[in-house]
Amino acid sequence: MHVTRRHLPQGKQIRLSRIFGSPSRRALVVPLDHSVTVGPLGAAGHADQTAAILHRAGADAVIVHKGRARTIAPTRFGSMGLIVHLSAGTNLAVDQTRKVLVGSVEECLALGADAVSVHVNVGAPTEAEQLVDLGIVAAECDRLGVPLLAMMYARGGVADAGNTSVATLAHLGAIATDLGADIVKLDYAGSSDRMDEVVDSCPIPILVAGGPTTTSDDAAIIFGLQVAESRVAGLSFGRLIFGADDPERVATTLADGLHSEPTPNRPLAATLELA
């Protein structure tokens, strides 16, 4: 398969290489941004404690909101990337699919961020506004040399009917690519073969979302390693890790699986000019 070569600014390449720095160029990214949506994920120091676990486990980056980032010891990021999330919405809202921007890329740089992320619910009543926000952040990221992760979901209205089909996921990847994202987070297509079809359609690296908590730690590991059989650039597992009985075991196993060997013909190789 021909991989499209993307010539990114040096700043973006350097920051991406911190997140995708393993020999396989695949990453385990762990979102901890859920507390804005659902409330506290634990005691006051949970973010720092979880970051310490993830650092030991070999996770490549965590995703948090700007205020939560200030509660995590800077030493956690010696070999682990920091991605700051710029979108917010709560499960107390009438429209739970609505996301708004709550920060700027410059704020994230001041915190030491390696990348920023934006959430877009395609098919939501406020889809248009969310797409505008994605475009605005993409332009700011280009100006400052900061990678942008677009979390793209088919949510609301007719979008929910086929939200994990290859066609829908490929469409979401196309939106992220066309509006300037450098990485896209998508739901899983249901099998490694179908996920590879999505990869083949998308010139930017794909991270696969974990979704709700599974029945057991072993189930989370089995699911993650199944996803890793496809040519995606990595996993973005939050609740499947921080909600596990043994988060360190789940994170370590998934990180080891992703880092063990390169997977050829992925867009990341061209993005980082490593092909």
d(CA 205, CA 234): 8
Q: Is 236 helix (H, G, I), strand (E, B) or coil?
A: strand
* Sign of the CA dihedral running 254, 259, 265, 270: positive
First to last CA, the chain: 12
Among 12, 182, 185, 188, the one annotated catalytic: 185
Q: Are 142 and 160 in contact (CB under 8 A)?
A: no
Told to judge if 153 belongs to the known catalytic residues of this protein, a careful annotator would answer: yes
Q: In whole angstroms, give the CA distance from residue 207 to residue 34.
A: 17
Give me the catalytic one of 33, 60, 196, 217.
Answer: 33
Active-site residue (options: 60, 133, 153, 196): 153
Q: Where are the alpha helices (DSSP H) in the chain?
A: 10-19, 35-38, 46-57, 66-69, 105-110, 127-144, 166-178, 192-201, 217-228, 239-242, 247-259, 267-271
* Residue 95 annotated in active site: no
Report d(CA 146, CA 10) in Å as an integer: 10
Q: Is residue 182 annotated as a catalytic residue, yes or no? A: no
Catalytic residue set: 33, 153, 185
